Amino acid sequence: MKPEEKYPHLSSVAASMADRDDEDRISYIRRDRFLAHTRAEEVLNELEMLYRMEDAVRPQGRLIVGRPLMGKSTIIDAFLRNHRASDNPDGNAAVVPVVMVQYPETASEGVYPVILSKLNARMPVNAKPQALREATVKLLRAVGMKILLIDELHNVMEGSANAQRKGLNSIKFLMNELRRPVVAAGTLEVFNAIQTDPQISSRLRRLPLERFKDDAQFQELLILFEMALPLRMASGLDDPVLSSFIFERTMGIVGHVADLLNSAAIQAINYGVEKITEEVIRNAGWDASRDDADLKASV
């Protein structure tokens, strides 16, 4: 019998792990994983559309916004895996269709230095702003960049008003010069920051990643988790009573759901019950709602 026939509640990959020993299964549960729930797929489809767009005089970008642990970085990583860099041994430079950087906590010249560093370009310590801009544009053209991804854009708010202005101007400049989209990601606060610059706010259309509600979409998310966790018995995480129990402890935050279910799955293996139940979750002792005042206030 094939693993997926023996364990119909699991994905083919998780089913192939289900008969492994406990240590292997627990190690597998602790790995990072991307679950293609509806909202994540919508964001990925938006990014793919931008990737395939032709150059434009006024390219449109996106701003992925959400509170921490809602999966912004996980979605970006999934997109990067679909568009990997190539060494391009027959060309003059590597091909890097998607360049991803994190906006630094302190930045006096916007994103130019971090892009140059990411692509292993060395500039003099005292390089002038114009030289940084020109070198960045030249290098991004050389590697065939199609999309620039900037994570942690909320860090722009850590600088002075002048530093914030330079940071936003650097993003706008690169979009204008390269005629390619920029996709930025950050917490909700960054949305307010870019409103100070009407030109860039109009170029970065908001893609919100909101907390799940206790509804059918949350149950869909739980089904995806159940399919990915190599337990030998079906848990029925989408049962309305059990799903509401999980929601109360995670408040619809994807990262909290992952932590709770991973802990519960490991508990289920260690105790030999092989499925996640309310009792297993209680014994796992994982409950974000107890300590997160911000979550309670936002319900």
- pLDDT digit string, tens, across residues 260-273: 999 999 999 999 99
CB 231 within 8 A of CB 67: no
CB 25 within 8 A of CB 269: yes
Would you state the pLDDT for residue 199?
A: 84
Of the candidate ranges 146-160, 210-224, 254-268, the one whose mean pLDDT is the lowest = 146-160
Question: Is a pLDDT exceeding 70 seen at residue 296?
Answer: no
Would you state the pLDDT for residue 292?
A: 54
Of the candidate ranges 207-221, 253-267, 284-298, the one whose mean pLDDT is the lowest = 284-298
Pairing of strands 182-186, 98-102: unpaired
* Comparison of pLDDT for 39 and 157, the residue scoring more: 39
pLDDT interval class at 198 (50, 70, 90) = confident
What is the number of alpha carbons within 13 Å of residue 209 lying toward its C-beta? 29
Distance between CA atoms of 8 and 233, rounded to whole angstroms?
Answer: 10
Query: Of the spans 88-92, 241-245, 288-292, which averages the highest pLDDT?
Result: 241-245
Helix H, strand E, coil C: the string for the chain is CCHHHHCCCCCHHHHHHCCCCHHHHHHHHCCCCCCCCHHHHHHHHHHHHHHHCCCCCCCCEEEEECCCCCCHHHHHHHHHHHCCCECCCCCCCCECCEEEEECCCCCCCCCHHHHHHHCCCCCCCCCCHHHHHHHHHHHHHHCCCCEEEEECHHHHHHCCHHHHHHHHHHHHHHHHHHCCCEEEEECCHHHHHHCCCHHHHCCEEEEECCCCCCCHHHHHHHHHHHHHCCCCCCCCCCCHHHHHHHHHHHCCCHHHHHHHHHHHHHHHHHCCCCCCCHHHHHHHCCCHHHCCHHHHHHC
Distance between CA atoms of 99 and 212, rounded to whole angstroms?
Answer: 30
- pLDDT digit string, tens, across residues 16-53: 999 999 999 999 999 988 999 999 999 999 999 999 99
* Comparison of pLDDT for 296 and 213, the residue scoring more: 213
Of the candidate ranges 102-106, 170-174, 179-183, 255-259, the one whose mean pLDDT is the lowest = 102-106
Percent of the chain with pLDDT over 70: 96
Both tokens of residue 213?
A: 């509600």
- Residue 14 CA: distances (Å) to CA of 3, 33, 57, 140: 9, 12, 46, 39
Question: Is a pLDDT exceeding 80 seen at residue 278?
Answer: yes
**Mean per-residue pLDDT, 205-233:** 96
**Mean per-residue pLDDT, 132-138:** 95
Would you state the pLDDT for residue 298?
A: 45
Would you state the pLDDT for residue 132?
A: 93
Distance between CA atoms of 157 and 154, rounded to whole angstroms?
Answer: 6
Would you state the pLDDT for residue 235?
A: 98
Distance between CA atoms of 104 and 16, rounded to whole angstroms?
Answer: 41
**Mean per-residue pLDDT, 191-202:** 82
CB 144 within 8 A of CB 96: yes
Average pLDDT, the chain: 91
Distance between CA atoms of 184 and 156, rounded to whole angstroms?
Answer: 11
Per domain, the residue ranges of the chain are: 3-31+212-291, 38-208
Of the candidate ranges 79-83, 144-148, 151-155, 285-289, the one whose mean pLDDT is the lowest = 285-289
**Mean per-residue pLDDT, 125-130:** 87
pLDDT interval class at 293 (50, 70, 90) = very low
Question: Is a pLDDT exceeding 80 seen at residue 89?
Answer: no
| Domain 38-208 in CATH 3.20.20.120 | no
**Mean per-residue pLDDT, 279-289:** 85
Distance between CA atoms of 57 and 61, rounded to whole angstroms?
Answer: 13
